[in-house]
């Protein structure tokens, strides 16, 4: 009986320590963000045939030929539930920076998002450390998201809300006063060496 009580006490201590670690190191948010960011790749990887690789030649804005190797993947359309065959680039861009912030959207004005940060990660990981509150201003007008249909291969910036293209600040209005995650990244294109920015908003 005494041994059983000792075991129960040990189990309770382990549970308490586990809860403490989840709260202290924000493991839930970390795991959730990782899952969200890899959602499409996870859904498609099981149906990706690595042997089904194709090469396509595109012309960039300077008239140079860009040879792109792509693999066939099958993804599920979220709206219809039907499977769709797509091709994804096998090359990965170079990461220049990858910052993750957590905090509150204070206001949106003149195409700028005023965001108060209380947790951040600036090393590309999903572990956010608590910091003294400070404000960052995200200027959406500094992102060039124009699609140049006259060029076969082009590089542009991306603005998204929960992985869907952001139409403008009006899509973010309902986030004012809410606690969210923001991922601010910058990359170098594998083929052209051009730099581009990606700003992701994740509603919580």
Q: Can you give the C-alpha Rg of the chain in angstroms?
A: 22
Average pLDDT over residues 156-179: 90
User: Residue 84 above 50 pLDDT?
Assistant: yes
User: Residue 115 above 70 pLDDT?
Assistant: yes
pLDDT at 106: 96
* Strand boundaries in the chain, DSSP class E: 53-59, 65-76, 83-89, 94-109, 112-121, 129-139, 158-161, 164-165, 179-188, 195-203
pLDDT at 180: 95
């Amino acid at each position: 009986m005494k041994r059983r009580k000792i075991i129960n006490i040990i189990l309770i201590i382990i549970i308490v320590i586990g809860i403490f670690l989840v709260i202290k190191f924000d493991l839930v948010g970390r795991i959730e963000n990782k899952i969200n960011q890899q959602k499409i790749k996870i859904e498609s990887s099981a149906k990706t045939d690595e042997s089904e690789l194709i090469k396509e030649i595109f012309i960039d804005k300077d008239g140079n030929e860009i040879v792109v190797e792509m693999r066939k993947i099958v993804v599920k359309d979220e709206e219809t539930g039907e499977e769709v065959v797509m091709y994804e680039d096998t090359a990965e861009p170079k990461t220049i920076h990858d910052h993750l912030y957590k905090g509150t959207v204070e206001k949106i004005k003149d195409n700028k998002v005023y965001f108060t940060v209380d947790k951040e990660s600036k090393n590309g990981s999903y572990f956010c450390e608590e910091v003294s509150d400070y404000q960052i201003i995200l200027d959406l007008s500094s992102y060039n998201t124009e699609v140049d249909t006259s060029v076969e291969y082009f590089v542009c910036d991306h603005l998204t809300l929960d992985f869907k293209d952001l139409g403008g600040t009006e899509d973010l209005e309902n986030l004012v006063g809410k606690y969210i995650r923001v991922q601010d990244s910058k990359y170098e294109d594998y083929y052209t060496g051009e730099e581009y920015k990606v700003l992701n908003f994740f509603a919580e």
